[in-house]
Amino acid sequence: MFDPRFRQMVFAQRRLIVLGLLCALFAAIINVGTAELIRRTLGAATSGDTRRLGLISLFVIGVFFLKYWFSRGQAYFLTKAAHRLTADLRKKLFAKLQQLPIAYFHEKKVGNLQSILTNDVSVVQSGLPLIRDFVDSPVLVIGGIGYMFFVSWQLTLVSLLAIPPIAYVILTTSRKVRRDQSLVQQSLGEMGAMMQESLSGVRVVKSFAAEDRETLRFGERVEENFADNMRVVRRVTRLRPLVEFIGAVAVAGILWYGGYLVAHGALQVEGLMAFIFAVDRVVRGATGLGNIGNIMGQVRAAVDRIYGEVLDAQSEAVDENATLTIPNPRGHIALEDVGFVYPDGTRALEGVRFEIEPGTSVALVGGSGAGKSTLADLLLKFYQPTEGVIRFDGVDISQLDTRWLREQFGVVPQQTLLFAGTVAENIAFGKPDATMEEIREAAARAHALEFIESMPNGFDTVLGERGVRLSGGEMQRIAIARALLVNPTVLLLDEATSALDAVSEKKVQEALEQVMHERTTIVIAHRLTTAARADRIVVLHRGRVVEMGSHEELMKQKGYYATMYQAFSEGIFDGNL
């Protein structure tokens, strides 16, 4: 059945659920009792007892007034429980995603995760209020059959012949719906993943004039999801009419045999009418029981994805022994024969050995796949080295508290991401308690103050997803200000000026050179002009260090770096790595 942890979350809403189910119970009892009201009303009418008929009519009004409040209470309490449960579930999912390692996000598609957070959770939300059928339907079935026996046991035995085929239809349909619903949720996740990828890469799509091809591919995913949905729809829509048809056949038999009993004086007309109404309640209850299977099948498929894809994923490893922190860190970094192999078996680094002295700048140079970004990931403990040791101020980073270590780095990624919020909130992302004076100072040091103050609301200007209202250079300068605000021991710059125009690059480079003298700086260089400014250059090729030294030293060696730089100087190579 459902995962025990999910059942525990449902149990946490027990007060609302119990209130909702009690309301559903009383509403169902009134539903069944309506058959007796019909019998008594018709009896009073046929006997000409108008006084009794008037009293019964007033009683009916009172009963249905109560039913109104019970029905309303059932809907309110169960819907509130569903919204509370899904709110807690979404928070739990998001918190879990924050704890997962970087490797998880390399393997999973963002669109699929978004589908789980939205679509699968919505399935749970819409399904929970329908647990009223757990109370409502059995009461209708059991109470209805009990009343049928009260009216006529002979007629009831005839009616019960319809139960085996109805039960068979319900059980077989429910099993198939649960299986098909899993396919629906899966195809919906794939569709969301493709949509997210296409929208994120819209510039690439348009650059290659691939709009029609992407539209066709997305259309295929939509059609797959449509086909999966229709398979579920066909099964679900077939269920109710089929159950009602079987019920109609039973009613036809009841009318024939009931008419026979009335004709021979064994049953009153009002009893027959009340009996038929009770049969209708039983059929509705049986259909509700079928819906329980269908809806719970959909909810179970969604819950399985929520837990299987996210909540059961292995969180980022936390070494209980990694609790060390270093007072007054200097930013000395040493890599001792570091090697790394990705989980899929791809070797990224082998035998990497070099040191970075405090307050110096080092540029990592190499072509695509050389291992530059992998080194940065290892420094931040996104991954653990497969071989060798990385030391921070002489301490193996595997022994250092992960959160503390990451707080020592100010990171400016190549692909700048700005969050939905104000400019000030984005700059203060790493230091939420920063004062406005500190934020302004960081912006000024990143040469971002001028363009920020020219915006309509200055630092209070709201930015959209990925900072779509800003140019690439403006986004990158805000990212640099964000890194400078935390006053890091080490600056880690993934070619932080690569998106700037010549004027902006010069301004930012001057600002960076000022702060570089105060702290260790690691630059993942994508341009040789950037690498040439560093105190030291580490040249990587296929995961190995092939050269190391200053720009001048490497030019004298006439090796790999000198060859590239010479080609750049002569215009043969544009200098972009």
Tokens 């770096």 -> residue: 561
Q: Rounded CA gap, 577 and 569, in Å? A: 14
Predicted local distance difference test score (pLDDT) of residue 445: 85
Given this model, what pLDDT does residue 408 score? 92
pLDDT digits (tens, 9 = 90+) for 351-387: 999 999 998 999 999 888 889 989 999 999 988 999 9
pLDDT for 472: 74
Q: Describe the chain by its helix, strand, coil percentages, rounded to 5.
A: 65, 10, 20
Domain ranges of the chain: 4-311
- Predicted confidence at residue 348, as pLDDT, reads 92
CATH 3.40.50.970 corresponds to the domain 4-311: no
What is d(CA 287, CA 310) in angstroms, rounded to the nearest whole number?
34
In whole angstroms, how large is the CA radius of gyration of the chain?
35
Phi and psi angles of residue 219, each rounded to the nearest 5 degrees, phi first: -60, -40
Residue-level pLDDT at 467? 47
DSSP letter for each residue of 184-213 = HHHHHHHHHHHHHHHHHTHHHHHHTT-HHH
pLDDT reported for residue 34: 87
Give CA–CA dist 459/457, Å, rounded.
Answer: 6
Residue 436: which of 414, 456, 452 has the closest Cα?
Answer: 452
What burial class does residue 219 get, using C-beta atoms within 10 Å of its C-beta: 0-12 exposed, 13-18 middle, 19+ buried? exposed
- Do residues 333 and 529 make contact, with C-beta atoms less than 8 angstroms apart? no
Could you say which residues of the chain have pLDDT below 70?
1, 174, 178, 197, 199-208, 240, 317-320, 464-468, 495-505, 507-508, 510-517, 568, 570-577
pLDDT score, position 314: 83
